[in-house]
Amino acid sequence: MAWIINAKAAQNLRNYKYVGSDNSLLYKYLLSPFAQYCVDTFVPSWMAPNVITLMGLLIEVFTLCVVMFYCPQFAGDENTPRWIYLLIAASLLTYQTLDNMDGKQARKTGSSSPLGLIFDHGCDAVNAGVGALLSCTLFAIPAADTAAVLLACSLTSVPFYWATWEEYHLHALVLPWVNGPSEGVFGGALCGVLTFFVGPTWWHQTIYGVPLYLVPQLACVFGWIVTIAVQTANVCKHVARGARNKLGAIHPALSDLLPFVYLVYLGCAWLRDNPDLMARCPHLALALLFLLTAEAEIALMVAHCSGTRFTCWRPVLTPLAALWANTGIFKSPPVDPFYALLAYFIAASIYFAFFVSRVVIEVKDALGIHAFSIKPRLPKTKQGAPLEAKAKAD
């Protein structure tokens, strides 16, 4: 039974053609050639591209688990083992390399497909949250400084959602000459090496009263503000082109941003009203928000590849209002905020696992391919038709 991909969507998936480019000079002259070398030298032809993508994500998740053990409140101290920061730097570069390798492996094996694009994007969506949590440790941001933590988290979540939204409407992904997947990740790894040498407390110095850990965050925020402004203008121009009622054409496109705006507004309000949660379990609280964001981003990418309309109302986001109201409206919370968070996180995780599994199963079935192995190609006749098709015709 198809829950997500109907017959029309399946046909659109089979006709889908990817359009995109990365204009980063770092990617062009260093990251891409290195990834190609790794694929040509180390990756066997039988390995599916999605396996490479998944390996990168699992490495990042493992790193996060280690970091959570040593730095449960993000900010380390002089007793924090310095190798933690080298581990973060290494995991960032490893994920970046494997993420660049999967597409090259797909071209090498002739197994490029919309499933690979959706799977890659889904792993990137999850990793955007994992990377944000790692960056909070990287810059030794105290969990008690909720505003700074949320600012750091915005550096991955905001540009990623906007880029997905732009690709959905423009049907192409064009990364600028400076972007997060290339320069952003590489810069984060360099900061990890820096923290290894100077120690986490170095970031707690102030410049004119501003903590040093805020300086790179503020610089990056300026960059993504400019980026999303350009992306918004591009989408509005594209959807309004040729339309009689330009505002009427723009409105549906802008409405696709509502799930993210809703999530950011209520998420920030909820954490503001619950400072104890950030002190007690900052990773869990932020992981919930990133999980909800990833679900919407994956749904947006599925809609893009299948040529269907993105559904703005995401059922999994609805309980967030109740989570906020529990402490934002009632002076005495009816439910303990921690247990409310834990229950929501468990339920959202189960829903997310079901949603992702259905996406993978239904897309691979629609395309007639495997998710984690390369389907053998049928030998062709002299006329170029597969033998199986020729036998059926006979």
C-alpha 123/C-alpha 53 separation (Å) is 7
Q: Would you list the DSSP string of 73-118?
A: TS---TTS-THHHHHHHHHHHHHHHHHHHHHHHHHHHT---HHHHH
pLDDT score, position 244: 77
* 8 A C-beta contact, residue 296 and residue 259: yes
Domain count, the chain: 1
The answer to the question of residue 337 being in a domain is no
Q: Of all residues in the chain, what percent carry a pLDDT higher than 70? A: 95
pLDDT score, position 379: 55
pLDDT score, position 320: 97
pLDDT exceeds 60 at position 390: no
> Model confidence over 24-36: pLDDT tens digits?
999 999 999 999 9
Q: What is the CA radius of gyration of the chain?
A: 22
pLDDT score, position 328: 86
Query: What is the residue range of 71's domain?
Result: 12-263+273-312
The answer to the question of residue 145 being in a domain is yes
**SS3 state of residue 122:** helix
In the structure encoding, which two tokens stand for residue 17, read together? 């053609």
Average pLDDT over residues 353-379: 91
**Residue 388 banded pLDDT, cuts 50, 70, 90:** very low
C-alpha 123/C-alpha 259 separation (Å) is 20
pLDDT score, position 76: 87
In the structure encoding, which two tokens stand for residue 369, read together? 């391919």
> Model confidence over 221-237: pLDDT tens digits?
998 899 999 999 999 99
pLDDT exceeds 60 at position 387: no
* 8 A C-beta contact, residue 100 and residue 35: yes
The answer to the question of residue 222 being in a domain is yes
**Residue 330 banded pLDDT, cuts 50, 70, 90:** confident
> Model confidence over 182-231: pLDDT tens digits?
999 999 999 999 999 999 999 999 999 999 999 999 999 998 899 999 99
> Model confidence over 231-257: pLDDT tens digits?
999 999 999 987 778 788 899 999 999
C-alpha 227/C-alpha 215 separation (Å) is 19
In sequence order, the 6+-apart residues with CB closer than 8 A to the CB of 63 are 87, 88, 91, 134
| Residue 121 or residue 220, greater confidence | 121
Alpha helices in 171-281, H assignment, sequence order? 185-198, 214-240, 246-255, 258-273, 275-280
pLDDT exceeds 60 at position 385: no
The answer to the question of residue 318 being in a domain is no
Average pLDDT over residues 43-59: 97
The answer to the question of residue 327 being in a domain is no
**Residue 389 banded pLDDT, cuts 50, 70, 90:** very low
Catalytic residue positions, numbered: 121
pLDDT exceeds 90 at position 271: yes
**SS3 state of residue 257:** coil
pLDDT score, position 2: 75
The answer to the question of residue 180 being in a domain is yes
pLDDT score, position 392: 34
pLDDT exceeds 70 at position 391: no
**Predicted TM-score (pTM) of this structure:** 0.93
pLDDT score, position 242: 72
Total count of residues recorded for the chain: 394
pLDDT score, position 384: 46
**Residue 377 banded pLDDT, cuts 50, 70, 90:** low
pLDDT score, position 372: 97
* 8 A C-beta contact, residue 305 and residue 16: yes
Q: What angle, 0 to 180 degrees and rounded to 10, lies between the N-to-C axes of helices 282-306 and 7-15?
A: 80
The answer to the question of residue 285 being in a domain is yes
Chain centroid to Cα 318, Å, comes to 21
Residue environment code for 1-32, b if the CB has 16+ CB neighbours within 10 A, otherwise e: eeebbeeebbebbeebeeeeebebebbeeebb
Please state, rounded to an integer, the average pLDDT across all residues of the chain. 93
**Residue 1 banded pLDDT, cuts 50, 70, 90:** low
